[in-house]
Structure formats: structure tokens, C-alpha cells
Chain A
Amino acid sequence: MPSQLTRLLRGNRDLSTFLACAAASFVLLALPPGAKEGVGRALSGVALGPFKRVAAAAIETAGVRRENLALRRIAAELMNERNALIEHRQENERLRELLRVLITFPEEERFELLPARVTAMPGGRVIERIEIDKGTEQGVRTGMAVVTPEGLVGKVVTVYPTRSLVEPLSNASAAASVVTERSRVRGVLRPRYRVASALTTWAVDYVPARSDIVPGDRVATSGLGGVLPAGLSVGTVTSVEDGPLTMAVDVDLFVDFSKLEHVFVITGTRSGPRARTEEEERLLREIGELTVEEGH
């Protein structure tokens, strides 16, 4: 029997190649988590990382060029002499908004925020991971929450020296303990894939029947579990259906994962309000002046 198998494999090199690849795959799958992480880091960091950064930068540059061209056309139609000003405003609007959020973020009394740029969204049909351009060298650690001004994005699951991978709420295994801001009803937020719907939706599980929840209620993280801090905005309740034991609660998230460009990593918390630095006060004044100028 072994000799027949050997002859078969020798006679069919395609099959032998496939079986070798399959065997190697199973060996990799069976590796302990630490070893997998090591192999992943080596492949990602050495073989793939630099090229992905270049490609991401090129794609972003192409997007900025397209946007620039469109803005020039609009400005020429409206007012030729203000062309340069309008173009300048569009180019800087996003950066100034980021700066404003960084300094005057609503949670500034509690959270230390590290701004980061989204460089890739690896995964399959849904966004399973979000890669950002900040890592251990900038103070990012596994488990840190990632947010935008709109609300919670997810948490950091893998950290490299200069970049990190974030598990967004759209990931099938993602779950977050949440609470309604008005009535303080708790539950666990999870994604739902609906066949008929064009988008992933989210539901709050384990909500006891006849709880005080109505459409329009805002949902935030509860802080239970100790991974995500309490009070991060998550979304709004869109529909509620009472059942015999639990309620079916659907939630519309504040964050649109497909349009993420910049995020903030919550690197720590403070016990009290933080005084703005002189530099931040100057930048805030500058932003205010620019906004007033544009208003005129």
C-alpha cells in the first residue's frame, strides 16, 4: 500500500504539490498562538509592510488628486479669484477638524487620545481588521479602544512597532457591553448579517423583556468587562420588539467603517480635567480665526 501511494504521488506531481501545500497549511494552523504570531509578524513586517504602506500612500494621493480636480472646477465656475482660497480650504479642512477634535474632544476630561491614520482594511467581504499607522513606539497597546468623533470603532488586537491592527465592531466575533444612556439598560452589542439587507446591522442581545428602551435611545459602552472604557458613544436604537424573555433591539452605529480615514486610540484615562497647553490654545485660536474668515 505505501509503495502504491508513493508511485501515485510520483506519477502525479500536481497532486503531490497540492498535498504538500495542504500539509504545510495544516501545520501552520496547528501551530501554537505565539508561534503563529511570530510567523505573522515576520511575513507582515518584512515582506508585506513596506509595500502596503507605499500602496496606501499612492491610493490616498490618487484620491486627493481627484478631489482637488473636482474642487478646482467648482471654484472656477463660482468665482475665479477665490479659486486658490477654496482649494486651500478643502485641503486643510480635514486636518483642522482633526486638530479641533483632538483638543476639544467631548471626553477630554477623561481620555488621552492618540490620532492615527487608517492605512488598510485587510479581511474578506466585510471589514474584519483595520490597520492604523501607530504602534508600540507611539504607546499603543493591545486592548486599547479606538474611536472617532462620532463614536466607538473597536479595539486594538495586534500591535507592531509602527502600526497596529484594530478589530472593528463589524467583525463577526466582536462584542461590546453597552448601556442605554437614558434608562441605563445593559446588553451586549453584536453584528448581524442580513441576507436581504445591503449592510451589516447591529443588535443588542440579552436585554430582559419589558425593559425601558424605545427607538431613538442613544447607546454607549457600559465599561463592564474592563476592556472598553464606559461612556463611549456607540449608536442609536432603531427598532425594539418585545419577546417572552428578551427584547430584540436593533442599533444603528454612529461610525461608518467603510469611510474611516482617521481615528483616535484611547491610550489612557485621567482622573480630572486636563488644562490645555499653550500650543493647543494657540492652535484653537488659529482654527477659530480661519473659520471666521471663511464665514465672511
Chain B
Amino acid sequence: MRMGSYAALAFVAVVLDATLAPEMEILGARPDLLVLVVVYGSLVLGSRPATVAGFLMGLLADAEMAEYMGLHAFALAVVGFLSAGIWDHLVRSNIFVQCAVLLSATLVHDAIYYLVYYRNHLDMYVRFLARYGLLGGLYTAALGALVFGLARARRWGAVAGGHNA
């Protein structure tokens, strides 16, 4: 995947995350399309593109919640950096590993974002992560299985185990 295509994909993800994601709600949980795209970028393009994409996508997402401007950007940059780093230590072509990384990345994102969001309600923070964070992470991982499966079927090299496609 080329950098331009990935940038377009990231932008579309930001738009869909605000418009389509609510329609995909199951048991109150939504998939996190932004984390999905950042983790996908870290697998296909590497650390720097994923970190920068995470930061910029987060910045656009933060635009709707101005009081937390920079928080999504930071959380997604962390997700991009960490997930890119962890691929080097795992069997990156295994779809179960890919989904496990996606689940962990969603939880890391939520743990960072909602720690600041609920800083004055830490009891709610714990309940929220247990209730919505875990369910949302599983939902995102399930959606990721479809995306990574599709990428594998289309023989996109990096998803199947190679490096930059």
C-alpha cells in the first residue's frame, strides 16, 4: 500500500468513525475505526507513518471535542508507535496475532484517553473500561479479522508476513 492510499484511508476512517460507527453499535459498544487503521498502518508501513497518521487522525477526531484537543492525537500516536514496535517480536503474518495486537491497541488507546476524560471520576473510569473498553476492543478485533483477512486474500505482502507492500 502506498503512502497516498493510506492517507486517504485514514481520512475516510476519521469521517466514518463519526458518521458510520454509531450505526454499527452492538450492546452499546462501537468498533474503533481509528485504532484499526493505525494498527493496520503500523503493520503495512511501519512505525513513523503509523505514528504520524495516528497523531493527525486523532487531531481531526479531537476537533469535535475541543476541550480535549490533543488527547486523541496523543493516544493514537502511542498506539501507532507501540504496535509498530511489537510487530518485530511477533509472528506478524498470523491473523490471530494481528487481532490480539488490535485488541491490545484498542485497550491501550481507551486506557489513555479515558483516564484523562474521567480523571475526576476514577470509579467510572474502571467501570467504563470493563464495560465498554473490553467489548469495544473485541468488536474492533473482530472487524480487524475481516480487514486483515481481506488484505491477505488480496495478497497485500506486509499483511501476509512480508514488509512494506
Contacts and interface: CB of A to CB of B under 8 A. Distances in A.
Interface string B117-154: 11001001001101111011000000000000000000
Contacts of B17: 122
A129 B73 contact: no
B68 to A, nearest CB: 8
State the majority secondary structure of interface residues on B: helix
Contacts, number: 161
Nearest to A54: B15
B130 A25 contact: no
Contacts of A194: 127, 131
B73 A44 contact: no
B157 interface: no
A22 B131 contact: no
A2 B47 CA distance: 25
Contact of A43 (B16, B52, B59): B59
A40 B28 CA distance: 27
Given A29-B71, A56-B19, A165-B64, A258 B25 contact: yes
A195 interface: yes
B3 interface: no
Contact of A17 (B51, B71, B73, B118): B51
Interface in A29-68: 29, 31, 33, 36-37, 39-44, 47-48, 51-52, 55-56, 59, 63
A125 B30 contact: yes
A25 B19 contact: no
Name, among A42, A44, A193, the residue most crowded by chain B CB atoms within 10 Å (CB to CB): A193
Given A21-B51, A21-B52, A129 B65 contact: yes
State the 3 A-B residue pairs at the shortest beta-carbon distance, nearest first.
A28-B70, A125-B132, A40-B66
19 contacts: A14-B51, A17-B47, A17-B81, A18-B47, A25-B71, A26-B70, A29-B71, A36-B66, A39-B69, A40-B65, A42-B63, A48-B60, A52-B19, A121-B22, A122-B18, A124-B32, A125-B29, A195-B130, A195-B131
